Amino acid sequence: MEWRADPAPYKVFISEIMLQQTQVPRVMRLFPLFLARFPGFGELANASFADILQAWTGLGYNRRARYLQEAACLVRDRHGGVLPREVETLRTLPGVGAATAGSIAAFAYNVPAIFIETNIRRVFIHHFFPDRREVHDREILPLVEQSLDRENPREWYWALMDYGALLARSGDNPNRRSRSYVRQNSFRGSDRQLRGMVLRHLVDHGSIAAEDIPAYGAAEGFPPVRVEAVLKRLEDEGFLQRTETGAIVLRR
C-alpha cells in the first residue's frame, strides 16, 4: 500500500478519506491515479470540482470528493499548507470524524491517538467479547487505549488492521455482533445510484437541460418526483446549481 510505504501526511489524508467507505483493493488501484492529478493540498484546493469528481470516479459516496476539496482549502488557508497533527484540529476539517482524525494522526505523525475502525473493532470483539452481542464501541475504546503501543502506534495499528482483515476472511465476521454494524442496502434503485448517475452525467456532458429533467432517470425506474428530490439535495449540499435557463450544472 503506497500510503504505508510512504506515510506522508497528504498521502495518509487522501487514503483515509478514500478508505472510509471504499474497499482496499479499489482504493489501491485508484489512489495513485488521484495523486498523479492532485499531488498536494494546493493542487487539490485550486482544482475545479468537475476534475476532482472525475478523478473520484469508482470510489463512490461522492460527497467525500467535495469534503476533500473543502478540507484542502482549509489546510491551505488556515494551516499554511501543512496538515495539522492534533486530533481535535483535524476534526474541524470537513468529512473528518473522530475515527478518521485519530487514524490520520497515528499514521501521518505516529501520534498515539485512540480510535476504532472496522478491522480494529473486529479484533477486539473476537478476543474480548467472544460470546457477546450488541457490543458497543465505548466498551472497546478502553481496551484499545490499554493495549496501544505508544512508542510506535503507527505499526501497532497497521498490525491490528491486518489481523482484522485476516479474521474477516476466516468465515465468521465478529463485527456482526457490534452495535455499530449496519448491513449495506442494495445499491440498485437507491438514491445513491441516482446521485451517482446525475454526477457522472454532469462530469461527462456538462449539464442536464431543463426540459430533460422530468424524464431523467426514467430508464432506471426513477420517477420524476424522486429525481427532483435528489437534485434538490445535491443542490443544497453544494454539488450543483441551476442556470438561468433551469439547466443543471456542477457548481464551480
Residue 209 exposure: Cα atoms within 13 Å on the Cβ side: 2
Which H or E element spans position 240? strand 240-242
Alpha-carbon distance values, 60 to 22, 23, 43, 213 (Å): 7, 10, 22, 23
In the structure grid, which three cell numbers stand for residue 55, read together? 478523478
How many Å apart are CA 48 and CA 231, to the nearest integer? 20
- 41 exposure class (CB count in 10 Å sphere: 0-12, 13-18, 19+): buried
Question: Is 16 tagged catalytic?
Answer: yes
Q: What is the DSSP string of 49-98?
A: HHHHHHHHTTS--THHHHHHHHHHHHHHHHSTT----SHHHHTTSTT--H
Which of these is catalytic: 2, 16, 145, 228? 16
Please give the torsion angle defined by the CA atoms of residues 214, 215, 220 and 225, in that order, rounded to the nearest 10 degrees.
Answer: 20
Nearest one of 206, 212, 216, 205 to 250, comparing CA atoms? 206
Q: Which amino acids are annotated catalytic?
A: 16
